[in-house]
Amino acid sequence: MTTPCLPEPRAVSTNQALFERAQLSIPGGVNSPVRAFRAVGGTPRFIARAQGPYMWDAEGQRYIDYIGSWGPMILGHGHPAVLDAVIRAAHEGFSFGAPTEREVELAEEIIRNVPSIEQVRLVSSGTEAGMTAIRLARGATGRSKIIKFEGCYHGHADALLVKAGSGLATFGHPTSAGVPPEVVQHTLVLEFNNIEQIEETFKAQGGDIACVMIEPIAGNMNFVRASVPFVKRIRELCDQYGALFVFDEVMTGFRVALGSAQSVYARDIPGFQPDISVFGKVIGGGMPLAAFGSSRKIMQNLAPLGGVYQAGTLSGNPVATACGLATLKEITKPGFYEALGARTQALVSGLTEAAKAAGVPFVGDSEGGMFGFFFTNHAGEGLPQNYNVVMATQKERFNRFFHGMLDRGVYLAPALYEAGFVSASHTEADIAATVAAAADVLRIEAANAPTTA
């Protein structure tokens, strides 16, 4: 048997050298803005490989990973069952441009676990799913206006880039260059968790509103929950005025619960369901895959059955659907979310206690495998409820904390405005190591920058 010709080992390069090289051929040196570390300063880490809860950069430094590819890696990196499914699918073919049984199976699995959905359309990215959900809502209602909330991010479609969160919040821009005013003239931007404001808006323009779109647990202004009364009131207003309620669960879908965030709200709002749901991240297991779904009646408006057009060459990609199906199979096992939620809660509780011991004002929250925290201005402050309050928290203190943790081998999101993620592969030892690192960093922070509380 002929021995295969193996490639020469890559020369070890530094993160700084790679970043300088990348900036010559890629704008800002990155292919997604927050990766540039502009919000926190310093040099981005170029990741060479990952396994379980860990990542290794180009210099061989290991990190406990709390980004998890921004949410998809709920099982951790390189889960054996997922890896096996992807390899087998790749051997069968990368892409066909024709239907496959596997995409039907993935749609059925999503429908099985999310009661509000009767039909699903698979796409390749959260931006594509969110953009099409808006088009579907407009097509189904015959209306033009949409409501979104300040600090919520629904992808980089033109009509939604108005006071968005995530990368735009990171750079302090309320909107994006290149978006003409007439494109966003039908987008109404309201304050998150402000019931009075949305009531007034519906009263004035309810007959023109196609939909209300929301991140139920916003992950793009860090971790901010929509209050139960707020979600309940939006549902009532949409029913009263004939608008559709769109839950953007790209981040929360299958991440905070098996039934996604909508199942969390249904515990407190009997019978609650959104009209359209948008998914991404976890359903692809780390591959480029997203989806949107609704009732059969609403989905019948989509081409080829209806007049709302949407198409995608790589939609339902056979390798991506294999990855997603294998991931969903693992997370539907009994006890999965109970264990994941307990591990995430242990992390947030540990960080909170470490901050308290150091005398640093701090608040944190979690749901399922998603978490967030803030450095507040004074002890005793509660969790932020909207974008303006998030923006008033201690950004520079977060930046110092981020770098202190990074130096100790803990990789958090490189921006105050991003949620974090725990995977099933994180062990008690990983959580303990993270909390110990945080306690060390916070002690130094307290000594060098005493709080004003």
Active-site residue list: 153, 248, 281
Question: Which pairing describes strands 187-190 and 217-218: parallel, antiparallel, or unpaired?
Answer: unpaired
Q: Is the peptide bond before 9 cis (omega within 30 degrees of 0)?
A: no
Query: For 79, which DSSP code?
Result: -
Q: What is the dihedral of CA 88, 90, 91, 95, to 10 degrees?
A: 130
Q: Where are the alpha helices (DSSP H) in 257-385?
A: 260-266, 296-299, 318-331, 336-358
| Burial class of residue 79 in the structure, from the number of CB atoms within 10 Å of its CB (0-12 exposed, 13-18 middle, 19+ buried) | buried
d(CA 344, CA 350): 10
Per-residue buried b or exposed e for 403-440, using 16+ beta carbons within 10 Å of the residue's own CB: bbbbebebbbbbbbbbbbbbbbbbeeebbeebbebbbe
Using only the alpha carbons of the chain, give its radius of gyration. Answer: 22
In the structure, how many helices (H) and strands (E) does the chain have? 14, 16
In a 3-state reduction of DSSP, which class is residue 312? coil
d(CA 435, CA 87): 36
Contact 129, 170 (CB under 8 A): no
- Strands in 187-190's sheet, in edge-to-edge order, are 119-123, 290-294, 276-279, 244-249, 209-214, 145-149, 187-190
Contacts of 256 (CB under 8 A, 6+ apart): 217, 264, 367, 368, 369, 370
